[in-house]
Amino acid sequence: MGKQAIERIVEKYGSDHADVLEMLIDIQEKEHYLSRETLQYLSERLAVPLTRLYHMATFYEALSLKRRGRHQIHVCMGTACHVRGAARILEQLERCLSIKSGEVTPDLQFGLATVNCVGTCALGPVVSVDGEYHGHMSASKVERMLKRYSETEANGVAVCQK
């Protein structure tokens, strides 16, 4: 992320130290993770210790020091979802994306993770993509769901690897 983009975010909050978390969230939204260079620049710009920024980046689950995909996929593995086939859905996503949970596709388009519960048990099994819930999911619905978010689909490239 360029310094100008970071400056726009800092100016949005008026360089107020109380808004550092919001700045980090905004940066992550654009960059999809918090790079060392970005944290270093922000530390110097705001005169905030780099260790404080790293502490925040590792404390809050919404923040990440590792690259995340443009689209974040979360598979609910709570009891209600688990007994309704969440493991099969996760396996299908891993097959389609050719990655394991906790990884990101090489093109940085998708990140895949599991969560303990999303609190929508009546809709289980549930998969969330960028905060949008897809209830009553099944392994057979995975490819169709991925196509909605896939940028390669517009270029005629299949989403699921066969």
Averages of pLDDT over runs of 10 residues in the chain (162 residues) are 86 83 91 91 92 92 84 93 95 94 90 90 93 93 91 53 54
Alpha-carbon distance 70 to 114, whole Å?
17
Residue 156: the pLDDT is 41
CA dist., res. 60 & res. 52, Å (int): 12
- CA–CA separation, 119 and 9 (whole Å): 32
Task: Report the alpha-carbon distance of residue 151 to residue 66 in Å, rounded.
Answer: 22
Q: What pTM was computed for the model? A: 0.73
Give the domain ranges of the chain.
3-59, 71-155
CATH for the stretch 71-155: 3.40.30.10
pLDDT at 157: 42
Q: What is the pLDDT of residue 63?
A: 86
Q: Which of 30, 105, 48 is nearest to 73 (CA)?
A: 105
Judge whether 101 and 110 are in contact, CB under 8 Å: no
**How far is it, in rounded angstroms, from Cα 22 to Cα 27?**
9
